[in-house]
Amino acid sequence: MTKILAVDDSSSMRQMVTFTLKSAGFDVDDAEDGEKALKLAQSNQYDVVISDVNMPVMDGISLVKNLRQLSNYKFTPILMLTTESAGDKKMEGKQAGATGWIVKPFNPDQLVATVKKVIG
Amino acid sequence: MSIDLSQFHQVFFEESFDGLDIMEQGLLNLSTDQPDSETINSIFRAAHSIKGGSATFHFTVVAEFTHVLETLLDEVRNGDRAVTSQMIDLLLKSVDCLRTILSKLQAKKPVNKSDYKPIEDELTALIENETNSDSISLDSDPELNDKKSMPSKAGETIWQIEFIPESYIVRTGNEPIRMFRELESLGELTVEANTSKVPYLEELEEDSCYLSWSMTLVGDIEKSAIEEVFEWVVEDCQLSIEIVESKSATEENERKAESSKPNQSEDNVHADSKNSSETKISVDTKSTIKTAPKLSAGSSASVEKQLSNTAESSEEKSTSTVASATSSSIRVGIDKVDSLINLVGELVITQSMLGQMGEEFDITKLERLKEGLMQLEQNTRELQESVMQIRMLPISFVFNRFPRMVRDLCGRFDKKVDLIITGENTELDKTVMEQIGDPLVHLVRNSLDHGIETPEIREAAGKSATGKVELNAFHQGGNIVIEIVDDGAGINREKVLSKAIERGLVQENQELSEAEIDQLIFEPGFSTADVVSDVSGRGVGMDVVKKNINALGGSVYVESTPGVGSTFSIRLPLTLAILDGQLIRVGSQTYVVPLTSIVESIQIKSPDVLKIAGGLDIYKLRDDHVPILKLYDTFNIDTKNKDYHNSILVVVETGGKKIGFMVDELLSQQQVVIKSLETNFIAIEGISGATILGDGRVALILDVLGMLKRLSTKNKNQRERAA
């Protein structure tokens, strides 16, 4: 089963993402900041990582940079959750090694469609 | 797939309110000289989260408002804009405004434009005022409009796509084969790989991409749909997408004729969205994504508006089906839950031990049975304490609103006040907490309005220009005590007394101690403020404060020294759900008296009972005179013992007044769980509730304050009858 790691400091977003992806048949773990996500990623192998950009402790950009340093996350799709106003953040995320982005607001269908785009 | 987003609304509201609190705290701590970047960041993050959530859950008004707010905060965060106190004021107002909107949304009430528009305009004005960046303009981007109004030019088209990725492409997690798969879903795809750049094996790096591809794609496809596939890699490759052959000219007309048919290519992408309105939403949003890099920040607002139009109808539908969202929840520390689980574990062990013993019980195991039962008792008690702990929250939940309030009020009164908060971690039952908020607000306002003097008067009186208001909370016995201390002018006793005489609250020749005069301010219709301000001083405050606190089973008391200041002390029970009770017997009935209100219990000595006019008996307790309430009389109980000689007097006190209950016997002291009479029966004055005793009988819990009232009305009636 495809394992996904969802990272967001907002618990409503995290719950929505987790619930949606679980309903779509994925195995989902979640974390509330980059540091916790990184720890999870080191002890588990995820097929996709979906992360918010603005988070306390460790933000999404640093998380991507750190993940790409790990040998088993070299090619893993990493999607950033961004808002449309953060155009420069998108580029920053790309430079850090993010695969793509999902623009907030998104609905559950878009989320699942986007995830399906990067797996398999 | 249909997922009901409303199930996340409650969480969204809760975290948004938390976010607003964080913003407010941050804003209050933000200094204009040296703004702390971590504080600004946390304010920004909170606004950002609210915006993201509200947009996702279709609260468009909130999303639009926070968008403007975020834009401003982003500039501050990036150092493009200096923090001014005017800006902080506006941001604080915005926080209030958001709180109002969110509360309304949570209660499923309509949000009026007047609720937020003025502040939103102010924010926009502030942003536009000092910025030349056009990216903030709220008007929708003309480019977007162009794109939208552009007629779709598609038909059966043959596209030629050249895709030459940079060698590092796979290291961004973008796998070309997935893109091909996606293109394939759009139409008929032929892919040809160009291997000319692949090096010799020894020079080959395994994580680099040396291939490039030429593709032909045939189908009714728009260019934007193809571009979307490559959206994430546009910067990491050379890409050309060209039309080789188009049959669109004739077919376009046909398409126009059946314009109601949804766009096919988009439908393929969202093959699983069946609901037509949902499809529409996703199409709209897609256009945001497609044009996003070129879009100005503000133009999203118009897209969101469109989104909301489609979403609104479905939201209205859900309103009727979803039950009131105001059911409150409680946030509990994980350690409390862990200890609870631990205790339940122990309980299960004890239960299984007893169960095992019961299966093969003989009298030799009696000792062990007793031990087991004792253990069970302990488990139960600990479990009860643990569960009660869950309802306990630090009082900072209430205290946190005061820094803001004091700041606002200082501005209004032209006073300078330092607010000092101590004991904010003192824990209090959630229900008590919810109801103590308003009385506290009133008392703090009162201290600022009437207590603290203006800086000029203070300096003239030899005090520092900046006044001091302290909020303290601490545990004392089974109570929590909250103190509001100010170093203001104190209570003007002459004024209070003359006012009280004028109002007929006291007789002119009545002798009152200083403390008694001070307590007069809690009497109904009492205000000594020279100028009635809109903050306090309408005289409807203090008596309501006192009433509310009494209703919680608490008391309020003021101490004051003229020229030095006043101290208001509120004493509250820690919880409303459990009570330490003294069980008493009257005839065959058992009653519960709250232990905290009992001063002492004594054997009645007949000579000390004084009979006074109106049929009232008074007990002479040392220097005090305590009216006696015969409980058998009050509750109409047939008891053999109507004589003082064999009875016990339980002296209780509330709000500085004492009363003695005449009872037959004192039974045990125990914790009782309060069951509300009101929800199951009706409210009765003098009875605060009922409880179920160990033997299954019901015992009424006496409400001391209510009993006092009963006594005084009884006296009045009797006096009137006598007259």
pLDDT the model gives residue B718: 66
Instruction: Please indicate whether, in this complex, the C-beta atoms of A16 and B178 are within 8 angstroms of each other.
Output: no
Alpha-carbon distances of B623 from A75, B263, B404, B608, B626, rounded to whole Å: 88, 93, 48, 11, 10
List the B188-194 sheet strands across, edge first: B188-194, B212-220, B156-165, B237-246
Q: At what angle do helices A11-23 and A108-118 cross, to 10 degrees?
A: 60
Residue B56 and residue B5 in contact, taking contact as beta carbons nearer than 8 Å: yes
Q: Determine the average pLDDT of the residues in B353-379.
A: 87
Alpha-carbon distances of B581 from B381, B393, B432, B630, B699, rounded to whole Å: 16, 24, 19, 19, 11
pLDDT the model gives residue B700: 92
pLDDT at A5 over 90: yes
Q: Is B374 left (phi over 0), alpha (psi -120 to 50) or beta?
A: alpha
ipTM of the complex: 0.78
Distance (Å, whole) CA B312 – CA B59: 9
Residue of A nearest to B71 (CA): A85
pLDDT at B153 over 80: no
Contacts of A18 in chain B (CB under 8 A): none
Residue of B nearest to A13 (CA): B53
Query: Which residue has 């000319």 as its token pair?
Result: B196
To test the contact with chain B by mutation, choose from A10, A58, A118 the residue with the greatest count of B C-beta atoms within 10 A, namely A10
Instruction: Please indicate whether, in this complex, the C-beta atoms of A107 and B56 are within 8 angstroms of each other.
Output: yes
Of B15, B172, B289, the CB nearest to A99: B172
| Chain segment B235-270, per-residue pLDDT in tens | 788 888 888 776 544 444 444 444 444 444 444 444
Residue B410 pLDDT grade (very low, low, confident, very high; cuts 50, 70, 90) = confident
Q: Determine the average pLDDT of the residues in A36-59.
A: 90
Contacts of B293 in chain A (CB under 8 A): 87, 90
Active-site annotation of B, residues:
48, 70, 446
pLDDT the model gives residue A56: 86
| Chain segment B311-363, per-residue pLDDT in tens | 444 444 343 333 333 456 777 778 888 888 998 999 999 889 888 888 888 88
Contacts of B67 in chain A (CB under 8 A): 85
pLDDT at B140 over 80: no
pLDDT the model gives residue B284: 41
Distance (Å, whole) CA B227 – CA B286: 12
Q: Determine the average pLDDT of the residues in B107-122.
A: 82
The distance of B500 to chain A (nearest Cα, Å) reads: 55
The distance of B405 to chain A (nearest Cα, Å) reads: 28
pLDDT the model gives residue A49: 93
| Mean per-residue pLDDT of chain B | 77
The distance of B15 to chain A (nearest Cα, Å) reads: 7
pLDDT the model gives residue B254: 47
Residue of A nearest to B48 (CA): A54
Q: Give me B245's structure tokens.
A: 């052959």
- Whether chain A has a CB inside 8 Å of the CB on B304: the answer is yes
pLDDT at B85 over 70: yes
Mean pLDDT: which of B264-268, B277-281, B568-572, B576-580 is highest? Answer: B568-572
Q: For chain B, positions 196-215, list CB contacts with chain A under 8 A.
A: 207
Of B1, B171, B232, the CB nearest to A23: B1
Nearest to B298 by CA among B115, B149, B150, B131: B131
Contacts of B42 in chain A (CB under 8 A): 56
Residue B446 pLDDT grade (very low, low, confident, very high; cuts 50, 70, 90) = confident
pLDDT the model gives residue A85: 57
Nearest to A98 by CA among B692, B352, B639, B232: B232
| Chain segment B596-646, per-residue pLDDT in tens | 788 899 998 888 888 887 778 888 888 888 888 888 888 888 887 777 888
To test the contact with chain B by mutation, choose from A73, A84, A103, A106 the residue with the greatest count of B C-beta atoms within 10 A, namely A84
| Chain segment B281-316, per-residue pLDDT in tens | 333 433 443 433 443 444 444 444 444 444 444 444
Instruction: Please indicate whether, in this complex, the C-beta atoms of B282 and A109 are within 8 angstroms of each other.
Output: yes
Residue of A nearest to B183 (CA): A117
- Rounded percentage of chain B residues whose pLDDT exceeds 70: 80
pLDDT the model gives residue A38: 92
Residue B483 pLDDT grade (very low, low, confident, very high; cuts 50, 70, 90) = very high
Q: Give me B484's structure tokens.
A: 């509001």
The distance of A115 to chain B (nearest Cα, Å) reads: 11
pLDDT, greater one: B256 or B60: B60
Pick the CATH number of B579-722 from 3.40.50.620, 2.40.50.180, 2.60.40.420, 3.40.50.300: 2.40.50.180
Instruction: Please indicate whether, in this complex, the C-beta atoms of A12 and B171 are within 8 angstroms of each other.
Output: no
Question: Among A79-88, B410-419, B532-541, B611-620, whose mean pLDDT is lowest?
Answer: B532-541
How many CB atoms lie under 10 A from the CB of residue B623? 5
Of A13, A20, A113, the CB nearest to B269: A113
Architecture of the domain spanning B145-250+262-293: 2-Layer Sandwich (3.30)
Q: Which CATH class is domain B5-140?
A: mainly alpha
Cα angle B216, B218, B223 (rounded to 5 degrees) comes to 85
Contacts of A113 in chain B (CB under 8 A): 269-270, 272
Contacts of A103 in chain B (CB under 8 A): 285, 288-289, 292
Question: Among B112-121, B319-328, B528-537, whose mean pLDDT is lowest?
Answer: B319-328
Instruction: Please indicate whether, in this complex, the C-beta atoms of A104 and B55 are within 8 angstroms of each other.
Output: yes
pLDDT, greater one: B578 or B304: B578
Instruction: Please indicate whether, in this complex, the C-beta atoms of A56 and B42 are within 8 angstroms of each other.
Output: yes
Q: Is B238 left (phi over 0), alpha (psi -120 to 50) or beta?
A: beta
Nearest to B619 by CA among B630, B631, B635: B630
Q: What is the DSSP annotation of B304-339?
A: HHHHHHHHHHHHHHHHHHSPPTT-------HHHHHH
Architecture of the domain spanning B395-573: 2-Layer Sandwich (3.30)
pLDDT at B386 over 70: yes
Instruction: Please indicate whether, in this complex, the C-beta atoms of B8 and A12 are within 8 angstroms of each other.
Output: yes
pLDDT the model gives residue B276: 41
pTM for this model (two decimals): 0.54
Distance (Å, whole) CA B215 – CA B213: 6
Instruction: Please indicate whether, in this complex, the C-beta atoms of A108 and B304 are within 8 angstroms of each other.
Output: no
Residue B273 pLDDT grade (very low, low, confident, very high; cuts 50, 70, 90) = very low
Residue B107 pLDDT grade (very low, low, confident, very high; cuts 50, 70, 90) = confident
Instruction: Please indicate whether, in this complex, the C-beta atoms of A101 and B173 are within 8 angstroms of each other.
Output: no
On whether the A3-114 domain is CATH 3.40.50.2300, my answer is: yes
- Rounded percentage of chain B residues whose pLDDT exceeds 90: 6
pLDDT the model gives residue B155: 59
Residue B675 and residue B658 in contact, taking contact as beta carbons nearer than 8 Å: no
Residue A60 and residue A34 in contact, taking contact as beta carbons nearer than 8 Å: yes
Q: Dihedral sign, CA of B23, A96, A12, B112? A: positive
Distance (Å, whole) CA B509 – CA B646: 41
pLDDT at B86 over 80: yes
pLDDT the model gives residue B580: 80
Contacts of A120 in chain B (CB under 8 A): 178, 181
Distance (Å, whole) CA B690 – CA B679: 11
pLDDT at B69 over 80: yes
